[in-house]
Amino acid sequence: MTDEILQLKPNFHGVGVDLKALWRRWRKPPRSPFEIAATRFVELFEQHGVAITQIPRLLPEINLSQLASPANMLTALTDEVLEAASALFGVRREWLEGASERIYPLRHCYKSPHRFFEELRSLAPPAMILPVRAFTTDKHLDYRKWGSQRLELVLVERAGWLGDDEEIERYRPFSDGWEWGYERTRLELKAIVANYGHPVPLFQVSRKAMDALYSGEIFPRALLQGPLCTDPSLEDYCMPVSQNRQARETEELEEVAVYRKAIDAEPPSLLSRSQLQNGKRTEEVKSG
C-alpha cells in the first residue's frame, strides 16, 4: 500500500489524488510543535465541514500539493495564511499555532446583557436563520428541579460558501456558566431571550461537552445537530401562553419584565418569515 498522495493515473488529467493515503498521512500523531500547527490548520477546516481537499476553495493561497503532508504544509503557513484562517472561523491564533488549548476568545454577557446584543448586531449580514442557539445539560429545564442545569449561548453566522448552495458557518460561543437553578442568572437569561424576541433552539449536551464549551475548548458544530425547531425551545420559558402555546414557568413573567426593562438594547432586524421560506434554507420557525 503506497503513501504517495499525488499519483500518475490513466485518467483524463493524468494525475489523481489518493484520498486514503492523504487521510493516513494527516492522521499520524503530530511529533513537533510545527506539525501540531499544521494538523490544527487542517482540523480547523474539517471541524467546520470543509474537507481537506476543499481548503483551497476558501483560501486560494493554499494549493493541494501543500496539503499532502504536515511537512509540506509548514512552508504554506505564513503569517498571512494563519491570520486569514483564524479570522475566517473566529478562532484564537494561539490555538491555531499550537500554543494554547483554548480555541475561542472568552465572551461574557452575564450582568452585562448589552454585550450579547452588541455581538448579535455585529454578525455578518445577511442574518442566518435563528442565529442564537443554546446548549443545556438538561433538556427539560425546571427551576424547581434539584441539581445543576447548565446553559451556554452561541451565535452562528455565515463564514462563506462552498459552491452555490453549501453554507459554511462560523461560531461565537459565550462562556457565562448560566445555571437555571440560580434565580439571578435564570431571570436575566430569560430577559435576554425575551428582548431578543425570536426562537432560540435548545440542544442538550453532556456535562463534559458543557465544560469544554465554558472553557472555549470545543467546536460547537458537532453539538448543533438536528432540526432547529426544538421542543422545548428557550423562548418557551419567557413568553405568556397567549403568545406561545408551549409556554413554561409563566409565573416568573412579572419578574422577568423587571429585568427586561434594565436591558438597554434593541435586537437587530432579522429575515422575515416570507424571506426565510423563499431562501435557500427553509427551516420551520416556531411561531407559537
Do 179 and 56 have their domain in common? Answer: no
Q: Give the span between the Cα atoms of 17 and 6, in whole angstroms.
A: 5
Among 67, 96, 125, which residue terminates a domain? 96
CB 243 within 8 A of CB 236: no
pTM: 0.81
Residue 250 covered by a domain: yes
Average pLDDT, whole number, for the chain? 85
Alpha-carbon distance 50 to 102, whole Å? 21
Same domain flag for 198 and 82: no
Looking at the structure, do residues 60 and 202 belong to the same domain, yes or no? no
By residue range, what is the domain housing residue 27? 6-96
- In this prediction, residue 284 carries a pLDDT of 36
Rounded percentage of the chain residues whose pLDDT exceeds 70? 81
How far apart, in whole angstroms, are the C-alpha atoms of residue 171 and residue 156? Answer: 5
pLDDT at 264: 62
Are 89 and 118 contained in the same domain? Answer: no
Whether the pLDDT of residue 164 is over 90: the answer is no
Residue 185 resides in a domain: yes
- Is 77 inside any structural domain? yes
Q: What does the pLDDT read at residue 129?
A: 86
Integer angstrom CA distances of residue 249 from 131, 152, 252, 254, 263: 24, 19, 6, 11, 21
